[in-house]
Amino acid sequence: MIYVGLTGWGDHPDVYQAGSKNKDKLKDYAGHFPIVELDASFYAVQPQRNTEKWVKDTPDSFSFIVKAYQGMTGHQRGEIPFDSKEEMFSAFVQSLKPFIEHGKLGMVLLQFPPWFDCQKDNVEYIRYCQERLTDLPLAIEFRNQTWYQSEFKEQTLAFLKSNSWIHTVCDEPQAGEGSIPIVPIATNDHSTLVRLHGRNFHGWTKKGNGDKWREVRYLYDYNEQELVEWVNIIKQLEKQSKNVFVVFNNNSGGHAAKNAKQLIRLLDIDYSGLAPRQLDLF
């Protein structure tokens, strides 16, 4: 099965009902897409009251891709609000309980930063993460090209497969070591993740954007030919794993929801079990 959605539900005006309040945006979103990537969990380990609300606001068949907390993946440069790594990982696992109990945890995504390159210490840290997150469906996304260089690519994929990691296949500008190529290979029989970041080369490499770097980096509108290319790749991945989760991350210009719906149309998918939508009077 192919599931298409977006990263986050707060920045997509095309899917909200008229007069919708912030607290209702996820309900509106769930009327259009069957999955979402939860970004809030990257910035802070979420209290269970939040995750319980999100579970309640979505249909039974809805799934969350929960992004691992930044302290777990080495992004956070400031002080981590935990006394130990063990406490940090335990708090994160605890926050997942409502998703797990209601069958709504699609996977946990560990996205490692561009400086996390292919070396022994980093492989050992991946093993450590898996030990701390035992029995959870784990997806991994690399942002450093060395993992896919000719001398390491087959070893990388074999390592992921032997440890049941869900491979994240990415579309992003090819901008040197801090970006990865499209590698359409599944390493988990049950699930594969596809993340579409856009192809804004200049935005991806531009320095000095301050707090607006995300707005610049993810400003991109996929054309139909590019989406047709991804239809073929996604169908190829579907032959390798039971489920393919596809999320659009080109949010900053409001293109993600439109592109996701274009892709759903091209894939000829009609999702059942979405949240009900409010009907227009005229």
- pLDDT tier at 269 (50, 70, 90 boundaries)? very high
**Residue 64: phi, psi to the nearest 5?**
-110, 135
Q: Is 80 exceeded by the pLDDT of residue 65?
A: yes
Note the pTM of the prediction, 2 decimals.
0.93
Q: Is 90 exceeded by the pLDDT of residue 174?
A: no
Domain ranges of the chain: 2-267
Per-residue pLDDT tens digits for 34-54 = 999 999 999 999 999 999 999
Q: What value does the CA radius of gyration of the chain take, rounded to a whole number of Å? A: 18
- pLDDT tier at 280 (50, 70, 90 boundaries)? very low
| Beta strand 2-7 pairing with 35-38 | parallel
Per-residue pLDDT tens digits for 183-237 = 999 999 999 999 999 998 776 666 655 555 566 777 899 999 999 999 999 999 9
Query: Which residues does 51 contact at the CB level (< 8 Å), separation at least 6?
Result: 95, 96, 97, 98, 99
Residue pair 138/107 in contact by the 8 Å Cβ criterion: yes
CATH code that applies to domain 2-267:
3.20.20.410
Token duo for residue 110 = 């560990």
